[in-house]
């Protein structure tokens, strides 16, 4: 339903997009999709159409939000690029207001960064 709502907001829906949508919907609404498929001018059944192939590059997130901990408790989050360097992530984590509050006047004993997962400061 979310896909239908987002597609309804578009002025023009490409034929390939529509055909892919009907192919994916076919197992759930076979009679309706068969009728719509025929109206598109296809002579064979929608159920004989090849299932869409997965495109892994479209699944990758360009930005991610990771938690920032101080002494084992989450004190904030930081949004970073998926492939950002550790040095940059740590410096951005230090700028989070709630993290600053818990680090103010204290010495950082250890900084742990697990790429794309979490930043932890031990004071």
Q: Do 48 and 71 fall into the same domain?
A: no
Residue 58 located in a structural domain: no
Number of domains in the chain: 2
CATH of the domain at 116: 3.10.20.590
User: Which of 59, 81, 82, 78 is closest to 67 using CA atoms?
Assistant: 78
Predicted pLDDT at 56: 85
**Residues whose CB falls within 8 Å of the CB of residue 50, separated by 6 or more in sequence, listed in order:** 23
> Would you give the end-to-end CA distance of the chain in angstroms?
48
Predicted pLDDT at 113: 94
Q: Do 67 and 117 fall into the same domain?
A: yes
Q: Do 18 and 67 fall into the same domain?
A: no
Match 């006047």 to its residue by tokens. Answer: 105
As averages over each run of 10 residues, the pLDDT of the chain (123 residues) reads: 84 88 94 94 93 84 90 93 89 93 92 93 94
Q: Where are the alpha helices (DSSP H) in 1-123?
A: 2-8, 15-25, 30-39, 56-59, 86-94, 97-103
Buried b (16+ CB within 10 A) or exposed e, 100-120: eebbeeeeeeeeebeeeeebb
CA–CA distance, 97 with 75 (Å, rounded to integer): 9
Q: Do 47 and 69 fall into the same domain?
A: no
Give the range of the structural domain holding residue 70, as residue numbers without chain letter: 63-122
73-81 vs 63-70, strand pairing mode = antiparallel
């Amino acid at each position: 339903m979310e896909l239908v709502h987002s597609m309804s907001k578009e002025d023009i829906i490409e034929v390939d997009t529509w055909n892919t949508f009907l192919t994916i919907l076919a197992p759930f609404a076979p009679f309706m999709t068969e009728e719509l498929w025929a109206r598109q001018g296809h002579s064979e059944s929608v159920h004989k159409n090849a299932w869409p192939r997965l495109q892994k590059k479209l699944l990758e997130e360009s930005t991610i939000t990771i938690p920032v901990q101080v002494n084992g408790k989450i004190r904030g989050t930081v949004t970073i690029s998926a492939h950002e360097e550790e040095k940059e992530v740590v410096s951005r984590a230090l700028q989070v207001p709630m993290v600053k509050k818990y680090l103010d006047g204290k010495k950082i004993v250890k900084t742990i960064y697990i790429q794309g997962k979490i930043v932890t400061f031990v004071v």
